[in-house]
């Protein structure tokens, strides 16, 4: 990988996830270890922060709510399906934009549309390459997959800003094949959960915290190099499609960046590699 890469001076981390689910301070400390020269700002939920900062008027709030409602994926097997959202759908978005309550999960949003909506909210002074904005959300994001002709749930959508979904970690990468086989054969869901729990990340799983760190690195590498992923299954930048791959890349003992990516980080950070473990 060639080129002059620049580490962002400021990393803006937005945590819109229940604090019980993700410990923000720990994530900041992790980023600090990898990007010691960057200022890392921990902010509240992305929409709360920017709506408060720009003092959003009723009209803008409504238009934002409408755009969010319009970015819902209604049919995962249809590439493009758009319709005028129902007033109730707009009200639903509006209600959560206007409050501090964490939005319930279950609606699938088109990841790139949401990215554009978020990008439009950024103030010009922060809409520069010197800022890397990373949004942590519990909402489900998906993108269309040309190979499978359906919308797939994603853990992260890299862009400006990048978004990482905690529910995406759970629902995105596939669980072990035997798990689905057991489901098909109507095995008791609780026994299935128990039997396969070590092999996938579920709701309320404390391992989520560590997994998210790898996706933070992916968002940063996207910002720095334009490519968030690595083909090495042992690198934290590996784009896992299976839960077991994700657990291997992110949670095995000594999980870290591969040599290639570690060197890039050393070059851009002027730091020795032991810090990047």
**Which spans of this chain sit near another protein (rule: CB under 8 A)?**
72, 74-75, 83-84, 86-89, 91-92, 95, 104-107, 203
* Distance of alpha carbon 202 from alpha carbon 194, whole angstroms: 11
In the complex with another protein, the residue whose CB is nearer, 3 or 88, is 88
- In what order do the strands lie in the sheet containing 108-110? 108-110, 140-145, 150-154
Q: Closest distance between another protein and the C-beta of residue 235, in Å?
A: 32
Q: Closest distance between another protein and the C-beta of residue 93, in Å?
A: 10
In the complex with another protein, the residue whose CB is nearer, 30 or 96, is 96
In the complex with another protein, the residue whose CB is nearer, 87 or 226, is 87
In the complex with another protein, the residue whose CB is nearer, 182 or 214, is 182
Beta bridge partners of 156: 164
In the complex with another protein, the residue whose CB is nearer, 108 or 265, is 108
H-helix or E-strand spanning residue 112: helix 111-121
Q: Closest distance between another protein and the C-beta of residue 102, in Å?
A: 10
Q: Closest distance between another protein and the C-beta of residue 170, in Å?
A: 10
Q: Closest distance between another protein and the C-beta of residue 92, in Å?
A: 6
CB burial string 108-145: b at 16+ within 10 A, e below = bbbbebbbebbeebbeeeeeeeebbbbbbbbbbbbebe
For the four alpha carbons of 112, 137, 101 and 120, in that order, the dihedral sign comes to negative
* Distance of alpha carbon 47 from alpha carbon 237, whole angstroms: 27
């Amino acid at each position: 990988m060639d080129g002059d890469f620049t580490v962002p001076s400021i990393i803006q981390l937005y945590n819109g996830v229940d604090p019980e689910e993700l410990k923000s301070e720990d994530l900041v400390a992790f980023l600090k270890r990898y990007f010691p020269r960057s200022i890392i700002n921990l902010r509240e939920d992305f929409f709360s922060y920017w709506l408060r900062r720009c003092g959003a008027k009723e009209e803008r709030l409504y238009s934002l709510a409408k755009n969010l409602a319009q970015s819902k994926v209604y049919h995962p097997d249809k590439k493009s399906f758009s319709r005028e959202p129902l007033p109730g759908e707009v009200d639903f978005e509006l209600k959560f934009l206007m409050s501090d309550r964490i939005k319930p999960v279950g609606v699938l949003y088109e990841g790139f549309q949401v990215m554009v909506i978020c990008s439009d909210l950024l103030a010009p002074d922060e809409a520069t390459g010197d800022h890397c904005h990373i949004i942590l959300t519990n909402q489900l994001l998906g993108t269309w997959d040309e190979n499978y002709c359906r919308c797939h749930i994603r853990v992260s959508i890299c862009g400006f800003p990048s978004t990482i979904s905690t529910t995406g970690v759970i629902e995105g990468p596939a669980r072990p094949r035997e798990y689905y086989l057991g489901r098909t054969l109507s095995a008791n869901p609780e026994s299935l959960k128990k039997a396969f729990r070590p092999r996938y990340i579920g709701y309320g799983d404390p391992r989520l915290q560590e997994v998210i760190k790898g996706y933070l690195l992916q968002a940063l590498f996207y910002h720095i190099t334009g490519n968030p992923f690595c083909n090495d299954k042992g690198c934290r930048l590996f784009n896992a499609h299976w839960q077991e791959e994700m657990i291997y890349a992110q949670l095995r003992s000594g999980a870290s960046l591969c040599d290639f990516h570690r060197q890039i980080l050393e070059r851009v950070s002027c730091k020795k590699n032991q810090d990047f473990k």
